[in-house]
Structure 1
């Protein structure tokens, strides 16, 4: 690769990485990226919540009304999600022809879009990635382009940078272009930062991209655990480990153990396979009209939290007071509950457990009781 010189602003944002010069605003959001030979300038805009809403390159403007929809002057793309599995299809509508086509996405073990097919099963695109997400090989139908690539994230066609929500990621260098805001959010005294592999605030997935993924640019692993459920996870561990030192160490260790693995193939006890099984049995119970079931599977604390996030999908919110342990999906149709009464086993099945629930008209119609493996 040769020698590359990186420059930064006072907030630690990469202003030049040898090819692209980047401009950042006061919220540490990239507002422009440019290069010479050939000259390319791309500008970005964000809403008040920090979501990217537009991308402009010359005469081409790409608008993002939300994370599932984008349009230009000629095409409209609608991403179709399936909770727990990411974006499984894209509907592409061409304005000039008034026609639409569906592309189906087939993921690798990290959630990356590995193969795209049309409605007949014919291959539209095939992509092979390096461990850190650089494209090693791609082939497919002329004129077809899928912007969702490595770990299912959007890649900018011009810069090659991946948009991870909070930050941009360079797959060619295997690092983010700005520092992890989690370092400021959780404070320097938090013991999770004692892990040497997590101390580099630009590194991706604890420098282990085969085992971990980064969901939103904030640390690796589960964003539910790090952003919303860390206090709940601490209480759960305290219940199993009355010694506070042991509880804290067990929590840290769980983040780096096989119990927290994302996408390892062929191992039935990983969080991914157990989580999918729990979600599937919940859906089947709902389809049969069953009101209460007890799961056949016993996940660890980490696996249950990760399963809850996948069940809810993006945009979930906590119901009631902070730390209530009740989370509901964006469309109000699913609920993940790990309240204190459940954790203490004060009701059926009288063991520490959580709930995956299907909601209709604000009420639970199917409740899957998931016992936690101690």
Structure 2
């Protein structure tokens, strides 16, 4: 088989890239290790920056998002009893975010892919990348008992942190930066109305808590727990009691509880791989970087990578701009490191850590300044709604 762009990974990054390339008439094939049901079963992000929303519209897959997604103008921070609403729309001059679950984004992109008839292969085993330094790289994979070779011009590695793509950048070239945090998020998804129409981030002596949502009838809640905790030790009742203890009394009193439909513990890490391009291979999304979920940046950072990559590929095929290839990594990384900084800052400021006495005092001072100064609030708002995508020139 032959195509112009081979995309490894059928999560939202790979699907969005494929759809944007389809819009511009660029042939592509997607290869995914898991089944469609497995991909849809990943319960993850739900807060979309304006840049992501605009990309969905540009890709022609925004109808359901625009009708069902909820635009949010602000969110609330609760720090040791002090409550502060961050009015993002006012502080940024009109920018907002949209609450629309990653599962729904993926569902919409899957439907568009199926409608287009463009090839996509699920449950592909033993994916391997070949001849990255040549003008005709390829990937090979097992599909229904047969070995398939797909020749292409370029390869997009959208296969996540544990995928094969990053491993194909030589060790003497690739540099990885990582911080693993000493706690995780115990998350519960429930078919209950959200306790607030906006997200609530709470710092408490017992640990961090987040009240989020996927829709007006489905809620997503998180609490900070040690990495030694096990999901099976947390009954629904125990989770709800602990969540309430970390929230202001009036919020806890309004919390509607119910059976969990999904419960999991996610470890937190900051991770960046440089460079994000080698030969004819481009990394995008979790294959190149991971952020703690505190700043709602993971899926949105992937979208900014895809924006840069699809723009590059369109310029390569339509204008012959192969000179832009070597600019991909640096262009993406400028925005990535700023988002990594914000996510690290939110995580460090709002979670209970084993800090020494002076660090705790410094964090308290940092939060007091940030929440009680216009400049501090603007900084949070500007980063939360998302920094502008860097232009590829």
Using the size of structure 1 for normalisation, the TM-score is 0.26
Higher relative CO (Cα under 8 Å, sequence separation at least 6) belongs to: 2
Q: Going by fraction, where is strand more abundant, 1 or 2? A: 1
Using the size of structure 2 for normalisation, the TM-score is 0.25
